[in-house]
């Protein structure tokens, strides 16, 4: 997604001062780097905005273990972005294996949120049309190893 690939070595350079808001290349913000409870290092990666599709919101979060990219998370503009996001995901990965729509009453949504999943042989994609509010959604690309780390972490809690 946007020049970042799963199962590749993380080699995205740090952003120069002021480059994170408007960048012509992928770069990460070192001050935002964090360790996750499941053992990954999370990088905030900025990508060029010119010609970018309309659904991403902010930077992407890239989770790395042992130097290898295991997950990519892209926030979206929620319900407003569902059409363009689903169109792009279907064009890239085909029809989802699972899909459902649901009105989220707690979020006071009149428009149903779309939730979809794609299972590929070496990674999966999950799309949540909304997350915490109707104007936030998320696309996650994950390797099987990443999903195992999450499951192991959840089991320990």
Give the start-end residues of each E strand in the chain.
Answer: 27-28, 34-35, 41-46, 56-65, 68-76, 98-102, 113-119, 124-128, 137-142
Instruction: Note the pLDDT of residue 104.
Output: 73
For residue 14, list its beta bridge partners: 28
Contact 24, 31 (CB under 8 A): no
pLDDT in tens, the chain (157 residues): 888 999 999 999 999 887 766 778 889 999 999 999 999 999 999 888 665 667 888 789 999 999 999 999 999 999 889 999 999 999 999 999 999 998 877 656 678 899 999 999 999 999 999 887 888 999 999 999 999 999 988 887 6
pTM: 0.89
For residue 68, list its beta bridge partners: 9, 65
Give the CA diameter of the chain: 44
């Amino acid at each position: 997604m946007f020049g970042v690939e799963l199962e590749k070595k993380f080699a995205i350079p740090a952003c120069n001062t002021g480059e994170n808001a408007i960048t012509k290349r992928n770069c990460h913000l070192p001050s935002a780097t964090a360790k996750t409870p499941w053992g990954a290092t999370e990088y905030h990666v900025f990508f060029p905005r010119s010609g970018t599709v309309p659904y991403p919101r902010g930077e992407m979060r890239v989770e790395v273990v042992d130097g290898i990219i295991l997950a990519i998370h892209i926030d979206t503009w929620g319900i407003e972005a569902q059409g363009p996001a689903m169109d792009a995901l279907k064009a890239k990965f085909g029809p989802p294996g699972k899909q459902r729509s649901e009105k989220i009453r707690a979020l006071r949504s009149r428009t149903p949120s779309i939730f979809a999943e794609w299972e590929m042989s070496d990674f999966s994609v999950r799309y949540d049309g909304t997350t915490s509010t109707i104007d936030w959604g998320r696309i996650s690309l994950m390797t099987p190893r990443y999903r195992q780390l999450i499951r192991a972490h959840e089991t320990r809690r």
